[in-house]
Structure 1
Amino acid sequence: MPIPDPARPWMALLRPSRPGVLADTATDPHVIAEVILRVGEQATAWAIETAYEMPMSDAVGLSGRPSDKPPRNEKAEVFGLWAVIVLGGGTHPPTSLLTRLVNGVLDGLPRMLSLEQSFLGLQTAHAYFVDKLFDALGADEAAQSTHAAMKQISLDMTEGLHSLSARLAQRFDAERGRWMSTRTAIEHETTLAVLTEDAVIDIDKASDRLGYDLRAEHVALVAWSVGSTTDDTKARLCAVAEQALRDLGCRSALVVPADPGRVWAWGRTDDESRSLAEEPTVPAGARIAVGLPAHGVSGFRVSHAQAKEAERIACSVPASTTSVFDFHALEVFGLLSPRPAALSAFVERELGALAHNGPTEDALRETLLCYLENDRSLSAVASQLHIAKNTVLHRVRRSEQLRGRPVQQDKLRLLVALHVCDVLRTMGVDAPDGPSDLRRAME
């Protein structure tokens, strides 16, 4: 057993709230044994239990208890073990422990772009452990010199964090140097440079690096994974993006992984007025968002921004069952969607019972939208929808009854409401009990 440090009496206060913590861990038993030799079993168990309860910190990958992961998380535990050694006055944590901690942080940086988010996450975790220790100290009525103890705790943890950050930065620089020498890194860095607004780009040099002609007509897309990522997610999404671009008629493609669950892609196209008459093939578990064709470097950026906007819209409707999100079809909806509650209320007011979900209402809205877009031509609507003129007229009149006013009234508002309702239905948002369910789906 370690000899108690009289200068740090608070270590004796660190005890888990339940027995058996050390029997249920994700960390290498040899690492835990080293920590026990430094601070004892009770403090070690307290560190693991506290780490498990730590709120999520996605930037560092130290999440303690997300519902979709195992009950124990080694990254969180390793941070807790490091913290309790620092709290005990250990200026040199075991090498095996420190290596695991640094590797755990770097694992959360697949793009090797910046440590800023990771440092912020470490500071958050550091503050959490200090607060927990202060709680333990404050709960002990027999604790002496509480103010001095808190001061020493803060000093120890701050110095430990500075030392850890320095080591992490050193490893990061070395890893980034190796990563930057790879083809993937060169493509990624070049793509980011091209996407930077107002950046001065040597188009020929950048095209050579990317193996893709930046002077061409482009269509951009974003492909992302639905659910948790695995080791093969990146390769699978790259294949999804390449196939989607082929389905769109693109002759060449640039596919760049953005993060473990997302890729960016561009394809060379000759169709300047493309819209998704036929949806690309997308397998289960994946989604794609597609921008409009645009020319040159500026078009490379614009189409990408449009694809990301379509992705944003897709992710704003969690109930969506659609796999392909086309900016051309979603642009108007996107302009309105930053205020979803107001948008759903607008649809309710304009459509009334016409917004109900059902085959009858769906057919009425489709017919009415086609009727308005064709300047109220019965012949044009009948031809386009393959129905009789009398059926068109009947559906328009029935739509007016459900809406509560004639279609000539507030035509622009009616067109927008029909379009928004159609987009929501296309994305899989249903309102079985009436228009008010649109609002719940958008909130």
Structure 2
Amino acid sequence: MSTRVALKQSAAQDHEWHDRIRRQTAVELRPSLDRMVAECCAYIQESMPELDVDEELAEGLYQSTYDNLERIFDMLAEGQDVGGTTAPPGAIRYAETMVRRGTPLASLLRAYRLGTMWTWTLWRREIITRIDDPDLLMEAVDHSMSFVFDYVDAVSEQVTEEYAKQRETWARSAAALRHETVEQVLAGEPLDLDVVAARLGYDLRADHVAFILTTRAADDAEDVVARLETQGQALAGRLGARRTLLVPDGRTRLWMWCTFDECPSDEVVAEVSADRTLLDGIVVTTGMKGAGREGFTTSHEEALHVKELLRVGGRHQGHLVRYEKVAVASLLASDLPRARRFIAQELGDLAAGDDATRRVRATVTVLLEESGRATVAAKRLGIHQNTVSYRVRQAERLLGHPLSERRYEVETALRLLRAIDA
């Protein structure tokens, strides 16, 4: 008897055969959840790159996708129906993030449609591999399709309601007014600076240094924005700011501008940067001092460039990084694959990640910064001049040529590597 006939007879005797197929398929796919979530997110981001512009949006999409796919496969494996389904926590948090970032509801719903398409394509492919008979295959496909689309309808309806509720609350808040006003300033819209000053409690005609503070939420209940505002105020105080503007941007990021009677010295900044208690759990990036409304905008843009440089380089929390220290690397790293190829081509084995090679690189970097003055470099590094000479010879062996050859390229590659792999 053929498989097709046997399956038809079984189906005639047991009308719940498709539930068994559904449960079995979900159980077999469930261990691959992490891989499936990553692939689904990549599919969505390919069509909507605006959802991958920073860590908060990318992480929010990942967590929402994870919670939804986990719920779908658990329900399929357990044979549950959609009735009474509630939106998972990650989906609710992502809707809140979208509201605070000013992302329209249409974008959120489009992400759900793309996620549904990806999930359905995967599920259909798996079902096809398990059923030979075309009639039974169509029945199983229809049965599974109803579940997937009913689930998405139920969850997207709840997410839409949550978005509307959060949007109404956000629109009424003072933080929303500050964020909207600052967005208008950054976009270059014509504004009365006296009106802006009244809304923000901050005068755009001053000199400014922009900061961006980013962190992660320890749990869903933690008020991350309040923590960032506290740390931002403490940071501004330590740096001697005369006036400070704090603007939450999303759930885990804070924009900050400060005016100073005198900009903090390098020594003060270094002391603050080394204070792990002050910077506990956050990354701080800054722009350069700028004058007036234009300086307000350009300093913020520079801080964003540094933030992106740290993101692509995998920089961990607990750092304060200034634009003026990584400006060249920021420009070069705008094309990260080319930047890494440039590093590999110029440094070769000198780009290795072991501690010994890192010490050699650090010595060569300081030597080049000091225009080849070994005595000055040795004093700055706190090592003997002979050690500097020894490490230069090691570097030249790893490079395959004297340090004097392609000196500019080598120095640029060293700075770039330090910036993106710090």
**What secondary structure, in the 3-state scheme, does the structure 2 residue paired with 1:139 have?**
coil
1:370 is aligned with what amino acid?
A: E
1:268 equivalenced with 2:268 (yes/no): no
CA contact (8 A) 1:255 1:265 kept: yes
Query: 1:80/1:412 Cα in 2 relative to 1: closer, same or farther (>3 Å)?
Result: closer
Q: CA separation of 1:147/1:290 partners in 2, compared to 1, >3 Å: closer, same or farther?
A: same
The letter for the 1-side match of 2:95 is L
Is 1:202 the counterpart of 2:192? The answer is yes
- Contact 2:240 2:260 (C-alpha < 8 Å) held by counterparts: yes
Shift of 1:180: 0.6
**Correspondence for 2:209 among 190, 212, 219:** 219
- When Rg is computed on C-alpha atoms for both structures, the one with the higher figure is 1
Would the aligned equivalents of 2:289 and 2:295 in 1 still touch at CA under 8 Å? yes
Percent of aligned pairs sharing the same letter: 19
Pairwise mapping of residues 383-394 of structure 1 onto structure 2 (< 5 A)? 385=380
CA contact (8 A) 1:289 1:324 kept: yes
Report the residue type matching 1:403 in the other structure.
Answer: E
Task: After superposing the two structures, state which structure 1 stretch, 169-178 or 405-414, moved more.
Answer: 405-414
Number of residue pairs aligned between Structure 1 and Structure 2:
370
TM-superposed CA distance for 1:138, in Å, is 5.4
Does residue 108 in structure 1 map to residue 115 in structure 2?
no
Partner of 1:242: 233
SS in 1 for 2:96: coil
Q: TM-score normalized by structure 2?
A: 0.68
Give the superposition deviation at 1:217. 0.9
Cα pair distance change 1:155/1:215, threshold 3 Å: same
Higher RCO, Cα 8 Å, sep 6+: 2
**Structure 1 345/139 Cα, relative in aligned 2: closer, same or farther at 3 Å?**
closer
Judge which range, 134-143 or 285-294, deviates more. Answer: 134-143
Structure 2 CA distance for aligned equivalents of residues 144 and 361 of structure 1: 67
Query: What is the CA–CA distance in structure 1 between the aligned matches of 2:173 and 2:196, rounded to whole Å?
Result: 16
Per the TM alignment, residue 159 of structure 1 is displaced from its structure 2 partner at its CA by 7.8
The CA deviation at 1:166 is: 5.9
> How far did 1:164 drift?
6.1
> Structure 1: where are the runs of 5+ without partners?
19-44, 65-72, 428-443
Q: TM-score, normalised by structure 1?
A: 0.65
| RMSD over equivalenced CA pairs, Å | 4.7
Determine helix, strand or coil for the equivalent of 2:370: helix
1:237 aligned partner, one-letter code:
L
Q: Which residue of structure 2 aligns with residue 62 of structure 1?
A: 64
Cα displacement (A) at 1:167: 6.3
Instruction: Give, in whole Å, the separation in 2 of the partners of 1:193 and 1:47.
Output: 51
Contact 1:310–1:327 under 8 Å retained in 2: yes
Deviation, 1:168, is 4.5
2:183 corresponds to 1:187: no
1:343 correspondence with 2:329: no
Instruction: Give 1:23's aligned residue.
Output: none
Higher helix content, 1 or 2 = 2
CA distance in 1 between partners of 2:193 and 2:209 (Å): 18
**How many angstroms does 1:214 deviate by?**
1.8
- 8 Å Cα contact 1:224-1:288 kept in structure 2: yes
| Alpha-carbon distance in 1 for matches of 2:32, 2:419 | 44
Q: Given the superposition, is the C-alpha separation of residues 368 and 60 from structure 1 closer, same or farther in structure 2, using an over 3 Å criterion?
A: closer
Q: For 2:88 and 2:388, how far apart are their aligned partners in 1? A: 66
- The residue that corresponds to 1:279 in the other structure is 272
| Residue-by-residue CA offset, 1:217-254 (whole Å, 9 max, x unaligned) | 11111112268555143322222222222222211111
8 Å contact from structure 1 (residues 346, 417) kept in 2: no
Q: For the structure 1 residues 59 and 118, does the alpha-carbon distance in structure 2 shift closer, same or farther, using more than 3 Å as the test?
A: farther
Report if aligned partners of 2:181, 2:196 keep a CA contact under 8 Å in 1. yes
CA contact (8 A) 1:48 1:81 kept: no
Q: 1:331 to 1:140 in 2, by over 3 A?
A: same
